Structure 1
């Protein structure tokens, strides 16, 4: 499905609001476009109505007295009412003259010595006439004033109605647009929660953030501004063409040539604009990623004096973004306003040529009101055209942004199939497991071990030996390519990921805290975890001693990543978080590596109580923290090279013994 269709389907979810807005827009356009018709009537029927056929009549409504006789315009006679002798009034020069008979000629007029002369080419006709004073002209014009006032009131009323409907249609369109983007952002955010961890390994956080925020905001502009402009413009263009066909079908048919020209322009424009916008959005994401990375690693950048290099890298990326923006700017400048001005001039040339030709024929004379209405409608025709042309850049930008958002939403999510387990005991078995992140590059080879409920299994080895990979497989962040991992005899591939992870707790080497409070970071907003359970978990890990002096206690504010707390305090909160969920399996990923000795002692005391009934895995570099482990697995290049408890491995005097002696020696040197 194309990006445009998907955006259309999103809009359909709020079709009732959009349909209501379009109905209001139709009424608004109809009220607004009635203006030139009213103006035409005011000009032709009332303002210029004095220059029409008058008939002698009796004194009464709409009758005007002149030279002792009453006259009334032909159009004001009722059906069956007797009409007297005809008369006409003409403008000649700057004045008006009264002719006491019906005139059958048209052309240039002149008045001199009681004679009105009308000349059309070689044909010249003379009529006896009388010059009218200003008072006479006002008397003949007086019957038209009520009609003019009524039409002006109608014009004003329609303008108010149009403004009212226009306000509400814009409000409803923008409301529906906000709803669409709200739904889209919720869908995108929900989608990334279901993506595998491997996806986030390969895409910087800044790029994902840019798609959820910047790109969806660009799509919002599509619904709020672009589609509103196109809807409004489309309805106005249809309305204007209807009015033009009513006024003059021939000229209206000629102006229809604008439509294929505009369509051809849009096709050509999009061909180039799409290319530039893809690059612009891509560079924008890369800039977000670089800024995000720089902020998070600012201490490293400043510590190693890499500010100039970091600025240079940013400027290079920003310069590329600037070049593509300029290309887009040049494209818009060369097309939008220039195209509209050219089209406007062509239409007016055709307009002048057409009406100029018709004015040469007396039988096809065009009224002043008709001329006014046509000029007004043609000017109005270009207002939506200008708006639609100027929104092409935003339209293309929104489509590109929408495409990027949908690419993220189309990423394959983790399959959530398998058995739902209420509670498992935590008997973990790795049976000849091999695993590779990239095909052929094995990071784990033939891993075999078993961890029984209540046991503590420690994983040690140099960096890259495969310790964290074992935990990634246990959590099913990844699945092994060979062998099997079972919990209570059930292959983890047959257990749903949610069910599997729900009964696991993890404490990372660098714990992540969310904005909120200490208590909310322990419960993570889970309604099933009570306040009492939160406080008990904190107390069990000894956090009450650490946080008791804080003014707000466990309700003390936590900023992003817990930057206002020490490493030990963050670790205690993270440890309490894992325990509050009462996991069957507990994973400590080098959880004490960044903690001072005093805090480590507090955790070690709590761990002896908390490990009972749980299968505990400890990834450790500090071997002093795992002396009491039931099993110690020594890994090297993805293989288990030694296995046993502390005493067994010390007796073997193998790799573990060497590592322990090395750390012990460092400790003595430090002392």
Structure 2
């Protein structure tokens, strides 16, 4: 059973768990350092700035004492146990001024007014009056002066926590991105490796552009998950935990009220993902289709222009692009409707509840808290919405990443060919097909195929298009396995041989050989360390490639662009011959290898073919009679069955399908060559052309 996308992403994340854990640890330290700020501010306000209204006593000790009218006064909480206390006094604020009261004040809370040298304090219907003296700025500073060391200490502590927070943020960001890059590198490597293991028939139904989109666009979207989404969500969650701890430390009841944010946030995320997943699935699909049509258009640009299909292709592209834009706009509408609205609503509701609590005292009847607690609570509550905003803004990336991961894992769940380490000795190449029947889907394209190709023999496969020639080669390579019958090499069933071992002693030359970006030499060796430079050059010389490539400035080190488009068909073909020769296969397949070669180049190609076929079992799918005439065995296929077999002379003597095909070709060439009998006679002995 396939694991969920989330679990599989977690498994990939665990490949860099040390870096992730380090990043999350630094994140926690940074959050703790950042949230220490409100508590430091609370301490500074309550214990230093506003603590001046606490009781003072006259003292004889100058430590932490204020000087007023040549007398020393120390705050009550600054006295050591057992230290003697003198007359109690109070400093109370009214408006912007502070007043000295030379006696105890039992309940300083209430509405204060100062007139006629007295401070009046009204509490409900009770009014208390105390003789008071207004303090000048210097006299007031005398009482604040003992607080300065504590304030400086708190400021220094705040600066320390700020530095810790800065370094923690840097380390968190670096390690999160570093670990994300490690994960994406492994994921992309695994996807590419799996693509290499997918059976060949898988790519018959999936355009190359869509595969490229999975490996590039989808993995890049998953990278956003590990960098932006994980960073914001982990930061947000740890911040929220820290904020709620701080809120409960400040006031339990207000902390409980603030918990209403969590279920709203969870429900909002569930709702968002339900709608966004639908849109993002279509968006990623359209993007793959756009990549596919771009890739197809580039590959077939010459055909598009020759047949003047630019307008139609542009319209197809515009339809896809418009549909992509349509769903992108739907996602934008969804994001605009949700993200900022959610955060602003939660913020407004939270502050309304705080004001209601402090303003009306509906929770238990005792709502008085210090100004420092109120400041710290509002500060911490405000800090809560920064991580929430970060998480909500990443919901779009989260959903895009999950959809992309789902598409990527769907590709990786496609059954691939098993990879078997090791190798097998080079086999002789005795190939036997026995009663083989095969169908790609339902209808059989091969029926009861039986033949034997002995080591060193050349077997030619002849027939009209769709007769089954290429299907026989596909079965030999084990791109597919037959539904009925058996195929053996040197007496061993090919189904019992690992595919990599089987193919390691096979070579193929295609009608339109594929060359990779690199050099001529690298296209011969294909980067195989077992093939030396000397072997590469020898193979190129033996097939006669040096004759066609001698004019190139860099010789065998001449750069080759993708598909070898800067080289002629003959040059590309000779390079593919040298490639097959350098790998020294026991079984060689020539798939219409000379059909695209001009007459002038064919003599070189024919010499190369003789070199290439020597000592190998060779299968030729070809229409040129020059290659078929020399075959040891010719199999004539018709509708998936072998209707004739034998060498050229035997089949000509038989006067059947092969004979008619031969006469048809010779007749076509004769008609095109005019009425020159001598030239026509030459053609009859050395015919060229195509069936």
Provide TM-score, normalisation by structure 1: 0.97
1:601 aligns with 2:583: no
1:174 matched residue in structure 2: 177
Separation (CA, whole Å) in 1 of partners of 2:189 and 2:524: 25
Deviation at 1:201, TM superposition (A): 0.7
Separation (CA, whole Å) in 1 of partners of 2:316 and 2:493: 48
Which deviates more from structure 2 when the two are superposed, residues 565-574 or residues 500-509? Answer: 565-574
1:127 matched residue in structure 2: 130
Deviation at 1:627, TM superposition (A): 1.4
Give the 5 Å matches for 1:485-564: 485-564=487-566
Which of 160, 164, 186 is the equivalent residue of 2:163? 160
Separation (CA, whole Å) in 1 of partners of 2:290 and 2:650: 54
Which deviates more from structure 2 when the two are superposed, residues 307-316 or residues 601-610? Answer: 601-610
2:682 matched residue in structure 1: none
Deviation at 1:516, TM superposition (A): 1.0
Which of 93, 96, 100 is the equivalent residue of 2:95? 93
Give the 5 Å matches for 1:234-633: 234-358=237-361, 364-415=367-418, 421-439=424-442, 441-633=443-635
1:657 aligns with 2:653: no
Separation (CA, whole Å) in 1 of partners of 2:115 and 2:364: 26
Deviation at 1:661, TM superposition (A): 2.5
User: Conserved in 2, the CA contact under 8 Å of 1:418 and 1:493?
Assistant: no
What's the secondary structure of 1:509's corresponding residue? Answer: coil
User: Conserved in 1, the CA contact under 8 Å of 2:592 and 2:621?
Assistant: yes
Which deviates more from structure 2 when the two are superposed, residues 48-57 or residues 536-545? Answer: 48-57
Deviation at 1:415, TM superposition (A): 4.2
1:225 aligns with 2:228: yes
User: Conserved in 2, the CA contact under 8 Å of 1:419 and 1:494?
Assistant: no
Give the 5 Å matches for 1:69-108: 69-105=71-107, 106-108=109-111
What's the secondary structure of 1:291's corresponding residue? Answer: helix
359 and 633 in structure 1: CA distance in 2 versus 1, 3 angstrom threshold? closer
1:56 aligns with 2:50: no
Q: Deviations over 1:338-389 (max 9, x none)?
A: 0111111110000001111349999652211111101110110111111111
1:114 matched residue in structure 2: 117
Q: Deviations over 1:605-637 (max 9, x none)?
A: 122233221001111122222211111111111
Separation (CA, whole Å) in 2 of partners of 1:226 and 1:364: 40
What's the secondary structure of 1:478's corresponding residue? Answer: coil
What's the secondary structure of 2:595's corresponding residue? Answer: coil
User: Conserved in 1, the CA contact under 8 Å of 2:420 and 2:500?
Assistant: no
Which deviates more from structure 2 when the two are superposed, residues 30-39 or residues 73-82? Answer: 73-82
86 and 563 in structure 1: CA distance in 2 versus 1, 3 angstrom threshold? same
2:689 matched residue in structure 1: none
Q: Deviations over 1:215-259 (max 9, x none)?
A: 111111111110111111111111111111110000001111111
Deviation at 1:148, TM superposition (A): 1.3
What's the secondary structure of 1:438's corresponding residue? Answer: coil
Runs of 4+ in structure 1 displaced over 6 angstroms? Answer: 359-363
What's the secondary structure of 1:429's corresponding residue? Answer: strand
Separation (CA, whole Å) in 1 of partners of 2:447 and 2:557: 46
Separation (CA, whole Å) in 1 of partners of 2:524 and 2:112: 96
Separation (CA, whole Å) in 1 of partners of 2:124 and 2:401: 61
Deviation at 1:79, TM superposition (A): 2.0
Q: Deviations over 1:275-312 (max 9, x none)?
A: 11111111111111111111101111111011111111
2:684 matched residue in structure 1: none
Deviation at 1:59, TM superposition (A): 4.9
Deviation at 1:653, TM superposition (A): 2.5
Separation (CA, whole Å) in 1 of partners of 2:105 and 2:369: 18
Separation (CA, whole Å) in 2 of partners of 1:13 and 1:351: 45
RMSD over equivalenced CA pairs, Å: 1.7
Deviation at 1:453, TM superposition (A): 0.8
Deviation at 1:116, TM superposition (A): 0.3
Separation (CA, whole Å) in 1 of partners of 2:418 and 2:381: 59
What's the secondary structure of 1:71's corresponding residue? Answer: strand
Which of 173, 189, 195 is the equivalent residue of 2:192? 189
What's the secondary structure of 2:230's corresponding residue? Answer: helix
User: Conserved in 1, the CA contact under 8 Å of 2:283 and 2:324?
Assistant: yes
Separation (CA, whole Å) in 2 of partners of 1:426 and 1:309: 50
258 and 419 in structure 1: CA distance in 2 versus 1, 3 angstrom threshold? closer
Separation (CA, whole Å) in 1 of partners of 2:95 and 2:35: 34
61 and 363 in structure 1: CA distance in 2 versus 1, 3 angstrom threshold? farther
Q: Which runs of 5+ in 2 are unaligned?
A: 674-691
User: Conserved in 2, the CA contact under 8 Å of 1:421 and 1:495?
Assistant: no
2:48 matched residue in structure 1: 46
Equivalenced residue count is 670
User: Conserved in 1, the CA contact under 8 Å of 2:590 and 2:619?
Assistant: yes
What's the secondary structure of 1:445's corresponding residue? Answer: strand
Deviation at 1:598, TM superposition (A): 2.5
Which deviates more from structure 2 when the two are superposed, residues 173-182 or residues 142-151? Answer: 142-151
349 and 164 in structure 1: CA distance in 2 versus 1, 3 angstrom threshold? same
Separation (CA, whole Å) in 2 of partners of 1:404 and 1:419: 33
Deviation at 1:34, TM superposition (A): 0.3
Separation (CA, whole Å) in 2 of partners of 1:640 and 1:470: 11
